[in-house]
Each structure stands twice: as C-alpha cells, then as structure tokens.
Amino acid sequence: MTRLTLFFLILFMAQLVLAQNEFQIAFNLESKSTKENLRIKFSDDSGNSGHLPLSIIKGKTKGPVFSIVAGVHGYEYPPIVATQKLIKAIDPEELNGTLIIIPIANLASFFTRTPFINPQDKKNLNNAFPGRINGTVTEKIAYFITNHIISLSDVFLDVHGGDACEDLIPFVCYYDNKEKPEQTSLAKELSENSGFQYVVSYPYNISKTQAAKYTFKQAVQDGIEH
C-alpha cells in the first residue's frame, strides 16, 4: 500500500467515524421532546461524495425506537414526500419513545432522477446490504444504516413506491422468518394493523452469513421487527 493510498484510507475512515460520532452523540443525548435534523456525510476513494439526511425525534418518555427509511430508490417520490411530511407533523410532546427517519437514503439517485442505482458508483442501495465500511459511497451508506440505524431499532420500516411509473397497488409486507417466530408474529401483527388492504408474507430463506442485500431483509437478519 502506497503512502498516498494509506493517507486517503485514513482520511475516509476518519470522516466515517466523525459521521458515526455525530449521530451517536445526538441519539444518546438525554433530551426529551426534541427534534434534531442531521446530515451524515460520506465519501469514497473514487471521489464520490454525498450525505444522508436524518431526523431523530425523541418523545416525552423513553420507549421503543422506530426507524423509517425512504428513498432507498431515489426515484420513488411518494414515500420520500410522505416521510418529509411525517417529520414535520410529529409532535414530540405526543410521542413515547424515539423516531429515526431517513427521508431520502439515495440522494444522488433522487437528484438525477435515476431509477434504482446511485449514478456515482452504479450500485443499487437496495442490493448493497450489509454494506462495507471501506467500500464505495453506496456501500458506506448501507453499512451506516446497518450498523447505526437497524442496530438501534426495535421496529424498522423500509418504505418504497412504484418508481418512475408508480404503477403499484399499495401493500405492506413482512418476511416469514421461521427461525424467529416471536419477531415474525409481531411483524405480521403490525402489518395487519397498518390499514393496508393487502398484506404480503415473503418467504425468508437466507442464512445468518449470507448477504441480506435488501434493506429490510437486513433488519430481519439482524433480529429487528420489520
């Protein structure tokens, strides 16, 4: 490894640590009834950079952590708009527990109107989990969500739309993980009480060592209600 390569590796690792610390500090503050908006920055050794908009809403009392991620595919605008409105609508004084909301996980795709992939590194964020700490910008975003959002969550919701054409019947889904019946039972209950007419149960057939690839499949693999 050359000195220049080592320098850039140390620089990128330092940036990621700073981003992680910024989030951890905000999350760990013993504050109540607060709403804080963060920009978690990422860059890779190919010169790609971006950030992750993130809101932490803490209620008046401690309780479960409910995380919502939208815009994993940045061309899916309805869930992006919906989560942005939700951030504004939530009153921390009426909330028990904590909400973590990422309204646009794939900003580069959002701004370039590019379906599925991040045009910077040509990777699909919804095929990149659990991500890599020293990978491309998309893989770093996936790594951050896996290790700093999913890991803190009691319930995890990944919101998608119908992409460019929005030709999609509204539905809610969960993975039928036979190895974790309690988790699956709660996911089923939450799905059935969501208000959606259609509830889909996906088969879950990956091992603990296989890459989950999909955002909310990573949450299932990590034992989080989804």
Q: What percent of the chain clears pLDDT 70, i.e. is strictly above it?
A: 91
Q: Is the pLDDT of residue 105 over 80?
A: yes
How much is the pLDDT for 18? 53
Q: Is the pLDDT of residue 178 over 50?
A: yes
Average the pLDDT over 80-95 and give the result: 96
Residue 33 in domain: yes
Residue 15 in domain: yes
Write down the mean pLDDT value for the chain: 90
Q: Is the pLDDT of residue 118 over 90?
A: yes
Residue 145 in domain: yes
Residues 181, 177: Cα–Cα separation, whole Å = 7
How much is the pLDDT for 11? 47
pLDDT bin (cut points 50, 70, 90) of residue 163 is confident
Question: Residue 199: which domain range?
Answer: 3-221
Residue 155 in domain: yes
Residue 111 in domain: yes
Residue 209 in domain: yes
How much is the pLDDT for 3? 59
pLDDT bin (cut points 50, 70, 90) of residue 2 is low
Q: Which of 51, 98, 69 is nearest to 159 (CA)?
A: 69
Q: Name residues whose C-beta falls within 8 Å of residue 167's C-beta, 6 or more positions apart in sequence.
A: none
What's this model's pTM, rounded to 2 decimal places?
Answer: 0.88
- Domains of the chain: total: 1
Residue 226 in domain: no
One-letter amino acid of 211: A
For residue 15, count CB atoms less than 10 angstroms from its CB and return exposed for 0-12, middle for 13-18, buried for 19 or more: middle
Residue 23 in domain: yes
Average the pLDDT over 151-177 and give the result: 92
Element (H, E) at 186: helix 181-192
Residues 72, 61: Cα–Cα separation, whole Å = 30
Higher pLDDT among residues 2 and 97, named by residue? 97
What is the CATH number for 90? 3.40.630.10
Q: What percent of the chain clears pLDDT 90, i.e. is strictly above it?
A: 81
